């Protein structure tokens, strides 16, 4: 059974359940699975997060301390409480998501994601725990 939906036309979707309020989750393997299934050799892979309090970035996939530092420092730059007016209380999550961005475009080459040696693609949860959707669009060139 696949861990993703094939929506046709090179569009795929999968879900990630986050467990913490602020969390980084490596989704590289799940994107790779889709790239393999698509059979596309050369093109672009666009990863898109259809939320406003979660985002996507690329980061080091080796030392887990990088992720701890990453979360701690961005929370310091955009504090959770800072006199915000928004009634839901999650304005910091909106801003952090916009700073990080809602999409990553990765080049496809010889049927693989053209990532650097240390690069992994991460879902960034800023207002969890929740179930998040990730769209992946594979474009053949």
Q: Determine if 39 is a binding residue for a copy of itself (CB under 8 A).
A: no
Contact indicator for 61, 53 with CB cutoff of 8 Å: no
**Helix 65-77 vs helix 91-100: crossing angle, to nearest 10:** 120
Task: Give the sign of the dihedral formed by CA 46, CA 111, CA 6, CA 54.
Answer: negative
From its phi and psi, is residue 39 left (phi > 0), alpha (psi between -120 and 50) or beta? left
Residue 52, token pair as written in the block: 């406003």
Nearer Cβ to a copy of itself, position 15 or 86?
86
Interface residue with a copy of itself among 3, 6, 20, 69 (CB under 8 A) is: 69
Q: Determine if 80 is a binding residue for a copy of itself (CB under 8 A).
A: no
Q: Determine if 92 is a binding residue for a copy of itself (CB under 8 A).
A: yes
Q: Determine if 106 is a binding residue for a copy of itself (CB under 8 A).
A: yes
Three-state DSSP at 31 gives helix
Q: Determine if 4 is a binding residue for a copy of itself (CB under 8 A).
A: no
Interface residue with a copy of itself among 104, 125, 127, 134 (CB under 8 A) is: 104
Interface residue with a copy of itself among 3, 5, 6, 7 (CB under 8 A) is: 7
Nearer Cβ to a copy of itself, position 17 or 98?
98
In DSSP notation, 35-96 reads: HHHH---SEEEEEE---SSEEEEEEESS-THHHHHHHHHHHHHS-S-SS---TTS-HHHHHH
Binding residues for a copy of itself, per CB under 8 A?
7-11, 41-44, 46, 48-52, 57-60, 63, 65-66, 68-70, 73-74, 76-78, 82, 84-88, 91-92, 94-95, 98-107, 109, 114-119, 133, 135, 137, 139-141
């Amino acid at each position: 059974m696949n861990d993703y939906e094939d929506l046709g036309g090179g569009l795929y979707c999968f879900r990630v359940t986050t467990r913490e309020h602020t969390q980084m989750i490596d989704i590289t393997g799940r994107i790779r699975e889709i790239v393999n299934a698509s059979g596309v050799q050369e093109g672009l892979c666009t990863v898109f997060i259809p939320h406003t309090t979660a985002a996507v970035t690329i980061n080091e996939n080796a030392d887990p301390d990088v992720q701890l530092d990453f979360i701690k420092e961005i929370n310091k730059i955009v504090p959770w409480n800072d006199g915000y007016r928004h009634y839901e209380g999650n304005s910091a999550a909106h801003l952090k998501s916009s700073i990080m961005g809602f999409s990553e475009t990765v080049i496809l080459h010889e049927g693989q994601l053209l990532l650097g040696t240390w690069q992994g693609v991460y879902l960034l949860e800023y207002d969890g725990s929740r179930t998040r959707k990730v769209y992946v669009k594979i474009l053949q060139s």
